[in-house]
Amino acid sequence: MTEKTPTPPNRQDPHLDPADDTDEPAFDWMKPAGAGTGAGATGATPAGNTSPGAGKEQPAASAGTPARATGGSQADAPRPGAPRPGASQPGVPRTGTSPAAAAPQAGSRADRKAAEAAVEPAAEPQGRGTHFREPLPTSALQVRPPQDEVERRNAERELANNTKPVLPRVMQVLLAVFYPLILLVLAVRAVTSPLFLWVEYNRPGFPGDGYGFSTDDRMTYGSYAVDYLSNWSGPRYLGELVNRSGDALFQEGEVSHMADVKLVILSAFAGGALLLLLSIIAIIYLRRRSTGGVRRGLFAGSIVTIVIIVGLGTLAVLGWQQFFTEFHRIFFANGTWTFALDDTLIRLFPGQFWVDAGIVIGALVLIASVATLVLTWPTRKRRGIAKDAVAKDADAKDAAATDATSKDGADGAAAHPDAQAGRGRGNSAAR
């Protein structure tokens, strides 16, 4: 038998049914629809045909021509070596693929992708590169909070904007507290000077010494005592002084008391210098960070100073001796500051000297505080209120008053027809 030998008419076709070989994926397109394959093959068996011989050859309708159960003729069967329908060829895209073959397996990655794509909004186009996007953690920020929460946040924000910083206020308070103390220390320093001694000893009416000191003697010995209070010398500075007769000028008790006075004076001067430095720092800070802060601090300090001086002056006038005694008890131990009338300290610094010293200290502090009060008085110009702003405020007030008057007139005019109508109804009822 050669290739040119004619084919016998009763030759049986080779068995090409792949139903029994389910492991061969290349023949999926030939599987009948009832076997789970798609209907893409030509002449597929109807879905209702479930007979066992659905995939077997059946006798032909006409004698002499065998036919396949799938409804295809012999000419439809693929020839050996011919390309299979649906098989991929080099350079030719695969077409006619069965939908059942392309269907994703249950639980596969494609299933999950399809489910994610189905959840997306319908308005968004479903393309090849579309992926399901989960809500971001910050998506809740796009939701507007309730109106009460919005109002509360706005109120807190406005309160924070209107609240003034705390540090400038603290600096103003410190400046107001330090100011009277600094003035008091400066006044004490002015009194403990040779100039005040010279003025005091040479003023008319100052009592003289009944034990023989002249004005020159007082000025000389008193200058030693005042210098000792402000220098760094020890008690020997006064203890080794002698009078004209060669005797010790100051007794041991007097030298001890002057040492105590020196300690108090130097401590006051050191404290005043520290407060002055802190006040300068506060002034520099307030000038940079708070407009008008220096003025307000000095204004409050001057008021405090005036109140203190007036109160202490009233106590001194009502009972000077009691005031002088209580003052010494605060700073010195009892028995260390009382002396006889013939002791040098009493002869150099009699009672009138301390009265005059108190008056001078109070007067200096009062004058300085009053001058500060006048210079820092909160006028419109110092508060930064311009005349134009004042005029605008006045115009706004006038406009508000005019609007109120117009509104009252309109209300009265609106109520007038009602009153007339009421009176008309009353007259009709009377008739």
**pLDDT, position 138:** 55
Residues 239, 386: one domain?
no
Taking the C-alpha atoms of residue 81 and residue 279, their distance in angstroms, rounded to an integer, is: 110
Residues 389, 294: one domain?
no
Residues 274, 403: one domain?
no
**pLDDT, position 157:** 84
**Does a structural domain hold residue 3?**
no
Residues 304, 397: one domain?
no
Residues 389, 281: one domain?
no
Q: Is 113 strand, coil or helix?
A: helix
**Does a structural domain hold residue 14?**
no
**Does a structural domain hold residue 264?**
yes
**pLDDT, position 74:** 43
Residues 387, 259: one domain?
no
Residues 211, 343: one domain?
yes
Beta pairing partners, 92:
89
**Does a structural domain hold residue 159?**
no
Residues 223, 324: one domain?
yes
**pLDDT, position 312:** 93
Contact 63, 69 (CB under 8 A): no
**Does a structural domain hold residue 419?**
no
**pLDDT, position 383:** 67
**pLDDT, position 384:** 63
Q: What are phi and psi of 242, to 5 degrees?
A: -130, 160
Residues 332, 403: one domain?
no
The total of structural domains in the chain comes to: 2
**Does a structural domain hold residue 258?**
yes
Average pLDDT by stretches of 10, the chain with 431 residues: 61 59 57 49 41 41 40 45 47 45 55 68 50 55 76 84 82 94 95 93 91 91 93 91 89 94 95 95 91 91 95 93 91 89 92 94 95 89 58 63 58 49 46 41
**Does a structural domain hold residue 205?**
yes
Residues 339, 389: one domain?
no
User: Which domain covers residue 208, as residue numbers?
Assistant: 166-375
Residue of 309, 305, 232, 313 lying closest to 265 (CA atoms): 232
Whole-prediction pTM: 0.55
Residues 346, 328: one domain?
yes
Among the candidates 375, 391, 423, a domain finishes at 375
**Does a structural domain hold residue 113?**
no
Give the Å distances, CA to CA, from 404 to 82, 412, 413. Answer: 104, 12, 14
Residues 267, 402: one domain?
no
**pLDDT, position 16:** 59
